[in-house]
Structure 1
């Protein structure tokens, strides 16, 4: 049986067998090192920075779900992003989606450009002519984020990856907001997928983690060598939690995305809302692209409120079910204020150039009843 549906894959993907004791779920193996039979003789595991049974089971599941040949689980999503950069020479140039996540922008601009001489050009990746114009002799990769955080702009993955292959560039896709449940970048031509597994993979707001998944063996070997050298690995406990969370990814994403569409449709009718950002809405300028490469519009809805800063604070302060918190993707609904949270490190002028204002809010829609979530938003907007 080679054609497992996604709902079956999340339960049975990868190599999760533990032959010695035959448990139904891989246990947490906390050992830092493993006994060798003799000099020059090695077992499946030798040192946990290189490989660990719990992490290996989790990584094999991620690789299968994303359609890759290899996955490495890291200590955080930012650790995964930083690890991906280790693949490239110090003076490399990269082309990056213009509205990239604030943490990624911070890593690129305040750290890597200063410490390793890397340079980055930010452009709307849907403008292929602009992408072509940015390519330099030392350009090594294109960093794609789709949907973007927090304005949910989409990138045509297939088109950009095709261009990257023509110019012999590596294409890396941040698939955090979608996961393999909603879109599969490797099947659309991407070379590497990056995930912040703290979000939908774990799904319960109880772990920090990241992952990189490679499409081919050559990249897999390079990533594995970098991972072992740098040691940017997920702990056995976080790997265990993430694999446990992964089991319910299908049913969680289905409920959360369904709720998000209902919330977005309701918000679109409210006079106190300046703009709703949700690719699942027919009014979204990239709705056709959403239908082309995504299963649904996802589980995140962003809005721009009317009113001043005080109006924004009053609205957020009245919410009962949408909790003000960093991150997203948990079973509980959360609200994020981009200007002071996810994009706090981006200068105000640059934020507003991206279209992110003080009035911009990102809603991570949970698995609660959609009517209750809408009622919560209604009382906060109108009371």
Structure 2
């Protein structure tokens, strides 16, 4: 089944009671049982809900995985992953990552005795020196947020398998339309479903996909026991959003290429971070493991002044200044004070995340309008 067909049909069946082509919203907290324990698989909606089951099956199919699990947010999904670990265990994470992930690692789980190493993964072989008998998880984003660094998933997977360590990949920026980490050897894939999978800035949700039955069983136990599950209305909205994922991603990629090229040729723009450029670090890896380069771009201006970044952000119109990304509408943000404010400045600067960096989530509007919007804002500095 090709991806476009999979996005519309995989994991979804007509409602058996009515034949409804769209999965119904099973807006219920509990289910009537004929006798104690006789519940046909449904007893309480924290544990199982038919709408959520359909979505979990759909997302698993998109990632060519066996098991899908949905959570109330992307951080809820990451929380479940770290709860697989025990005090004394260690995690090796990329040092360029979403601020919320850094925060939950360092401010929540570190105090329970889990140790986190934040390291560059541009050359995967360099991480082996951090692996010891306590290492349980390697955590990667690719492309990274917000520097768009590319990490070789297949090379990381070989290292993880060699040392019997779980490899988890945040695939939010790429989506399963552009990249499938499980096919490259990863053990689990995480999505902030809030972003491209839902695609319309109206849902907050997370998801995990795995192939290993035991890993799926352990994560499902945490999902049910800790209760960070999404409601059926949100699941319905994501099921609807997924049906156009392939169409939206095609346009995000087209517009991303146009805007990245425009910015790179603008006299007031200094650095542009977009993995589609041939001179982007590890571009050849991106070509190998991705089918296109996405609609996420970061850039700085000549002079690298924070006040110039603020002027640009305050004068954009079609690029709305807001948290999040991946919706049909274009968004802009200032990572240093918004999405990555929880990361200490000295740590941010190590990966190039300066106070003047602007991150763009390029939407599906007309690219000429987006270029004109940027031109007007850049003219103010």
Question: What TM-score results when the alignment is normalised by the length of structure 1?
Answer: 0.97
**Is the 1:306–1:359 contact (alpha carbons within 8 Å) kept by the matching residues of 2?**
no
Q: Which residue of 2 aligns with 1:12?
A: 9
Task: Classify the secondary structure of the residue corresponding to 1:94.
Answer: strand
Q: Which residue of 2 aligns with 1:166?
A: 162
Q: Which residue of 2 aligns with 1:356?
A: 353
Q: Which residue of 1 aligns with 2:322?
A: 325
Distance 1:309 1:15 in 2: 48
1:264 aligned to which of 257, 260, 266? 260
Q: After TM superposition, list the pairs within 5 Å mapping 1:49-198 onto structure 2.
A: 49-114=46-111, 116-198=112-194
**Is the 2:167–2:186 contact (alpha carbons within 8 Å) kept by the matching residues of 1?**
yes
Q: After TM superposition, list the pairs within 5 Å mapping 1:198-347 onto structure 2.
A: 198-307=194-303, 308-347=305-344
How big is each residue's C-alpha offset from its partner over 1:305-351, in whole Å with a ceiling of 9 and x where there is no partner? 22422222221122111110000000000001011101111111111
Distance 2:281 2:140 in 1: 19
Distance 1:22 1:88 in 2: 43
Distance 1:169 1:340 in 2: 34
**Is the 2:124–2:151 contact (alpha carbons within 8 Å) kept by the matching residues of 1?**
no
Distance 1:196 1:309 in 2: 29
**Is the 1:16–1:26 contact (alpha carbons within 8 Å) kept by the matching residues of 2?**
yes
Distance 2:242 2:154 in 1: 26
**Is the 2:12–2:23 contact (alpha carbons within 8 Å) kept by the matching residues of 1?**
no
**Is the 1:300–1:363 contact (alpha carbons within 8 Å) kept by the matching residues of 2?**
yes
Task: Classify the secondary structure of the residue corresponding to 2:340.
Answer: coil
Judged with a 3 Å threshold, the aligned counterparts in structure 2 of structure 1 residues 57 and 49 are, in CA distance, closer, same or farther, namely same
**Is the 2:122–2:151 contact (alpha carbons within 8 Å) kept by the matching residues of 1?**
yes
Distance 2:160 2:372 in 1: 46
Distance 1:24 1:103 in 2: 37
Task: Classify the secondary structure of the residue corresponding to 1:352.
Answer: helix
**Is the 1:16–1:58 contact (alpha carbons within 8 Å) kept by the matching residues of 2?**
no
Per-residue deviation, 1:363: 0.4
Q: Which residue of 2 aligns with 1:23?
A: 20
Could you list the structure 1 runs, at least 4 aligned residues long, displaced by more than 3 angstroms after superposition.
Answer: none
Task: Classify the secondary structure of the residue corresponding to 2:183.
Answer: helix
Distance 1:67 1:91 in 2: 33
Task: Classify the secondary structure of the residue corresponding to 2:118.
Answer: strand
Distance 2:212 2:175 in 1: 19
Q: Which residue of 2 aligns with 1:42?
A: 39
Distance 2:87 2:18 in 1: 46
Range 119-128 or range 221-230, more displaced? 119-128
Question: What TM-score results when the alignment is normalised by the length of structure 2?
Answer: 0.97
Range 218-227 or range 359-368, more displaced? 218-227
User: 5+ unaligned residues in a row in structure 2: which ranges?
Assistant: none
C-alpha RMSD of the superposition: 1.1
User: 5+ unaligned residues in a row in structure 1: which ranges?
Assistant: none
Task: Classify the secondary structure of the residue corresponding to 1:304.
Answer: strand
Per-residue deviation, 1:245: 0.7
Q: What is the number of equivalent residue pairs in this alignment?
A: 379
